[in-house]
Amino acid sequence: MEIYNPFELRKFVAPEFLFGSGAIEVVDRYIKNFGVKKVMIVTDPGVIKAGWAEVVERYIKGTGTPFIIYSNITANPKDHEVMDGAGTYKREGCDMIVAVGGGSPMDCAKGIGIVCTNNMNILEFEGVDNVPLPGPPLICIPTTAGTGADVSQFAIIHDSVRKVKIAIISKTLVPDVAIIDPITTTTMDPKLTAETGMDALVHAFEAYVSNASSPVTDINALKAVKLITQNLVPACEHKKDLRYRDRMMLASLLAGLAFSNASLGIVHAMAHSLGGLLDLHHGECNALLLDNAVQFNFYCAADRYCEIAQAMRIDTEGMGHDRVKDALINEICLLRQRAGINRTLSSLGVTKDMIPQLAKFAYDDPCMVTNPRDASISDIEGIYAKAL
Amino acid sequence: MLKPSDGSAEKKALREKIMGLGDSSLKKNYYPQLQDQVDSLEKAKVNLKKAIKKSTANESLFKALFDNAIDGIVLADVETKKLDLFNKSFLSMLGYSSESHLELSLYDIHPEDKLESVIDQFNRIASGTTKMTRNIPVKKSDGSLIYCDITGTPIELNGRDYIIGIFRDMTEARKSAIEKNAFETRLHHIQKMEAIGTLAGGVAHDFNNILTAIMGLTELSINTPSVVGPVRKNLEQILQSCYRARDLVSQLLSISYKGEKKLEPLNLTPVIKDAVSLIRATLPATILIRTIIDAELDTVLADKTQINQILINLCTNAAHSMDLMEGEITIKLLNMYIDNDYITTHPGLKEGWHVLIEVTDNGSGISPDIIDRIFEPFFTTKEKGKGTGLGLSVIHGIVKNHKGSISVQSEPGKGTVFEVFLPVTGEPSRHMEKTIEKPHSGNATILLVDDEKMLTEINSSILESMGYTVLTCNNGSEALEIFRNHPGTINLVITDMTMPGMTGLHLTSEIRKINPHIPALLCTGFNEQLTREKTEAAGIYEILMKPFTSLELGQAIKRGLSC
């Protein structure tokens, strides 16, 4: 039983969001409502291939509003991709962005927006509350279930010179509208389903144990953990089954709302560092680090981890903290394994000698601030080493 | 509630910002900017309203000025030369109806042959080189021309170059100026002619006295039986020269309009007809003379001889302008009512009925550069010895003396028209029978008065040679004295007009107070005050113009004695 400090202020920021199968079909209403002159659709080649960009195009076309497509985006969006997109946006005279896809197009869209309104380089916004002016109207249409970027105040951009992912955290980054249609996730293969699903699970975990968590974020986080535990593996196995897709999408939304307001922790700090250096898939990195992070954090937020364990359907009745910890770590590994994520960091190309650099970057990541346990660089190095 | 893992202030602050509790952790509020925009739009709206109001007022003012201006106002496109705007005055000035939807350009409103120069001036205005152009011919809707002064101002409207042109119709003013100029020229001419006349008259007076002496003495000498041979012939030549000199002086006196001629009511129709027969006899048969006589009112106060002289001189000039070869002369006698308007351009005339004697020829015409001088004495285009240059100046004098007016219109190569206007009189024509006089001698007693002693002596000798008894004196009071001292003796008085102390007229009236039946003959070089009324009232039966021959004197005396 936890008692919240009644004197600490609480805030919960979220965009207007439309959730449910077929939500994507009302994108035209929003476009019309904004009454803009020209729309830039930000997406990536994978989403275009899956056909979701075309669906959005069709509805925008129906409004008669001119639009262009910007899809020159890779995974872990790069700073130059953002600047290039901003140049196109200005040159084309656009005044609204519709992001369609996973975390990469959505973070890139957020970056393009603020670069255009502030006339600054994307890297200048690094950190918390460093965006003077919000970007233009932004509608996010996620096609993966996990990123949470569609509702979050985060944008993670790859600094291609320093080879590090920078976090831009600002209320100005919260999109105006999120159109969350589970159907769009039916085109994901099991691997992407698993990786993004595990990302969502880590969002929920970290938000729940975050030192900035609040009752509202807690509800969302725990519910997300429950949904993911029960639906991730079936979603991977039954690609087209909307029941699982819908629940995974909801879990992603709830986890997104939770971490956007409670922030994250050491797993994300370390995953950002990995993604920056080796351009690895963010979800997979998270999945491979989570168990070790729980091991490191557990006793600083033991009660919370117990609640998470319960949410993961672990019967903690009569268990001491140690046993709960072991059971939770075991459950995490089991879930990961069943979802098909069986690699280790070393099999992804991470070597021992990379660890000091990775740890250093992770230590400076803003996500570290809300981790329940302070970690020194050597602490972080230890966790990386275990995950190899 | 979990506490921050590290108590450092920096981390704490960062955590609060992530939680959305930092100073800048707020979603951007657009309301202030929106409010600013709304406020500025409101202000703009108010300003716009004010501007619209002002603009409407300006437009009304402009429209009132534009519509009510007496001058024509147009807006002309510099490039296309089209008139994009024109006011009512402009339309009415050009005779267009204001209702019609017209498309006009510079090419429509100026005569084709002047377009090049008009467009040149238009371009000068457009470039700011000039602001005003005068006397520009403007074509009306019916094709007739008016003349405008145009003031132009270049102006740029909506990125196009225009000229605002203000047209002032100067056609009437121009006509008036021309008329005024012509009037002044004529007036100047009249004044010049009068000055010449006065001069000629003055000279003639003295010259006549001199001639009288020469003629008198020459005649006396000739009448002396002892004068024979070459001397007599010389004297006869002198006398002939004197006659020619006298004729010349007589013409000079005509110029001065102060001749002695008596003006009688005269029907011009027969006079003209007679003159035409005379002229026809003297001109070559190749010159056709046509007569058009259509004047119901043909009675004028005139001297028949002088009217003849007018016609003869004009026709002779006409014939000379045809080199006496082939041509046509038309003589018209018409009636014309002269009104005030006509008088303004023909000074010297008075309102009323006039006869118009018009002599038209199709000869060589008169060159414009000399036409103003043709009435001047001694001005001639004829070769030396072929003309005196007095013909037209004599006519001019005669016409003036008849209270008429003469004008000329001529076009070189086409011919000339002379118009002579004479006022119609209400008096009935009197037909004066004149008896043929013969040289005379008698035995009556004559009182001869002249302030020139020499003339008294000469004339006295002449009269005595005719057999008369002559009493002479040199002023009026002396003459009166002599007349009183010789009651019943004196049968006739011959008196000079201009004398110191008492004029001939005065003397005559005084003498006739003593003897109302005494005939008096007045001799004069010229006297401007003499009118028929005055001389008749004084009791003078005849005026004898100096110089006169002894024959003329004798006949005049005989007429006096037979009264």
Q: Which ipTM did the prediction report?
A: 0.83
- pLDDT at site A311: 96
Q: Are residues A250 and A330 in the same domain?
A: yes
What is the rounded average pLDDT of the residues B90-113? 86
The verdict on residue A7 lying in a domain is no
Distance CA A366, CA A263 (A): 9
Collapse the DSSP code of B130 into the 3-class scheme (helix H, G, I; strand E, B; otherwise coil) and give the result: coil
In this complex, the residue of B2, B18, B20 whose CB is nearest that of residue A372 is B2
pLDDT at residue B206 tops 90: no
Domain range B264-423, its CATH number among 3.30.40.230, 2.30.30.30, 3.40.50.720, 3.30.565.10: 3.30.565.10
The verdict on residue A45 lying in a domain is yes
What values do phi and psi take at A95, rounded to 5? Answer: -140, 20
B18 vs A171: CB contact, 8 Å cut-off?
no
Q: Are residues A249 and A349 in the same domain?
A: yes
Q: Are residues A101 and A126 in the same domain?
A: yes
pLDDT at residue B499 tops 60: yes
The boundaries of the domain holding residue A92 are 16-184
Q: Are residues A135 and A211 in the same domain?
A: no
A263 vs B17: CB contact, 8 Å cut-off?
no
- Residue of chain B with shortest Cα separation from A135: B28
pLDDT tens digits, residue range B470-488?
Answer: 999 998 889 999 998 888 8
- pLDDT at site B250: 73
**Domain final residue, candidates A141, A158, A184:** A184
**Domain final residue, candidates A165, A184, A203:** A184
Q: Tell me which chain A residues have a C-beta less than 8 angstroms from the C-beta of B19.
A: 10-11, 212, 214, 261-263
- pLDDT at site A113: 96
Q: Are residues A180 and A202 in the same domain?
A: no
Angstrom CA distances, A141 to A98, A182, A273, B228, stand at 7, 10, 27, 159
pLDDT tens digits, residue range B287-302?
Answer: 888 888 888 888 888 8
The verdict on residue A86 lying in a domain is yes
- Report the domain count for chain A: 2
pLDDT at residue B429 tops 70: no
Q: Are residues A324 and A380 in the same domain?
A: yes
Look-up: residue for tokens 């904004």?
A34
The tally of CA atoms less than 13 A away on the side-chain side of residue A197 is 34
What are the residues whose beta carbons fall under 8 Å from the beta carbon of A242, sequence distance 6 or more? Answer: A21, A182, A183, A186
Q: Are residues A157 and A178 in the same domain?
A: yes
Max mean pLDDT among A3-7, B261-265, B314-318 falls in: B314-318
**Distance (Å) from the alpha carbon of B113 to chain A's nearest alpha carbon:** 58
Distance CA A149, CA A141 (A): 10
Buried-exposed string B490-528: b where 16+ CB fall within 10 A, e elsewhere: bbbbbbbbbbeebbbbebbebbbeeeeebbbbbbbbbbe
A213 vs B2: CB contact, 8 Å cut-off?
yes
B21 vs A11: CB contact, 8 Å cut-off?
yes
pLDDT at residue B377 tops 80: no
Q: Are residues A192 and A180 in the same domain?
A: no
**Domain final residue, candidates A164, A184, A204:** A184
Q: Are residues A89 and A194 in the same domain?
A: no
Provide the 8-state DSSP code for B3.
P
> In CATH, which superfamily holds the domain spanning B445-561?
Response regulator (3.40.50.2300)
The verdict on residue A134 lying in a domain is yes
Read off the pLDDT band of B269 (50, 70, 90).
confident
Determine contact, residues B421/B343, Cβ cutoff 8 Å.
no
Q: Which of B146-150, B258-262, B384-388 has the lowest mean pLDDT?
A: B258-262
Read off the pLDDT band of B435 (50, 70, 90).
very low
A263 vs B11: CB contact, 8 Å cut-off?
no
Pick from A205, A299, A370 the residue to mutate for testing the B interface (most B CBs within 10 Å).
A370
Q: Are residues A207 and A322 in the same domain?
A: yes
Classify domain B176-255 at the CATH topology level.
Helix Hairpins (1.10.287)
Determine contact, residues B73/B165, Cβ cutoff 8 Å.
yes
Provide the 8-state DSSP code for B283.
S
- pLDDT at site B383: 65
What CATH number is given to the structural domain containing A329?
Answer: 1.20.1090.10
Distance CA A105, CA A99 (A): 6
CB pairs under 8 A between A and B: 73
Angstrom CA distances, B214 to B209, B211, B235, B245, stand at 9, 5, 10, 11
- pLDDT at site B444: 87
pTM of the model: 0.54
Q: Are residues A375 and A355 in the same domain?
A: yes
Nearest Cα neighbor of B65 from B32, B33, B47, B88 is B88
- pLDDT at site B439: 42
- pLDDT at site B433: 38
In this complex, the residue of B5, B25, B28 whose CB is nearest that of residue A371 is B5
B15 vs A370: CB contact, 8 Å cut-off?
yes
Collapse the DSSP code of B469 into the 3-class scheme (helix H, G, I; strand E, B; otherwise coil) and give the result: strand
B25 vs A171: CB contact, 8 Å cut-off?
yes
Strands B264-267 and B287-294: unpaired
- What value, to the nearest 5°, has the Cα angle with vertex A83 and ends A80 and A89? 140
Residue positions counted in chain A: 388
pLDDT at residue B437 tops 60: no
pLDDT tens digits, residue range A280-298?
Answer: 999 999 999 999 999 999 9
What is the rounded average pLDDT of the residues B526-544? 77
Share of chain B above pLDDT 90, in %: 22
- pLDDT at site B436: 35
pLDDT at residue B430 tops 70: no
What CATH number is given to the structural domain containing A20?
Answer: 3.40.50.1970
Q: Are residues A272 and A126 in the same domain?
A: no
**Distance (Å) from the alpha carbon of A162 to chain B's nearest alpha carbon:** 23
**Looking at the DSSP assignment, which residues form a beta bridge with residue B463?**
none
Distance CA A122, CA A128 (A): 13
Read off the pLDDT band of B3 (50, 70, 90).
very low
B24 vs A129: CB contact, 8 Å cut-off?
yes
- pLDDT at site A295: 96
Provide the 8-state DSSP code for B287.
E
**Burial of B358 by CB count in 10 Å (0-12 exposed, 13-18 middle, 19+ buried)?**
middle
- pLDDT at site B441: 61
- pLDDT at site B526: 67
Distance CA B376, CA B392 (A): 8
- The average confidence (pLDDT) of chain B is 83
What values do phi and psi take at A18, rounded to 5? Answer: -115, 120
Residues of chain A whose pLDDT is less than 70?
1-4
For every residue of B389-456, DSSP letters joined together read S-HHHHHHHHHHHTT-EEEEEEETTTEEEEEEEEEB--SPP-----PPP-------EEEEE-S-HHHH
Q: Tell me which chain A residues have a C-beta less than 8 angstroms from the C-beta of B28.
A: 133-134, 171-172
Read off the pLDDT band of B432 (50, 70, 90).
very low
The verdict on residue A2 lying in a domain is no
Where is B461: in which H helix or E strand? helix B453-466
Q: Which residues in A have their CB inside 8 Å of a CB on B?
A: 2-5, 8-11, 13, 128-129, 133-134, 169, 171-172, 174, 209-214, 261-263, 300-301, 304, 366, 369-374
Read off the pLDDT band of B12 (50, 70, 90).
confident
What values do phi and psi take at A118, rounded to 5? Answer: -100, -10
- pLDDT at site B256: 59
The verdict on residue A1 lying in a domain is no
- pLDDT at site B542: 87
**Domain spanning B69-169: CATH 3.40.718.10:** no
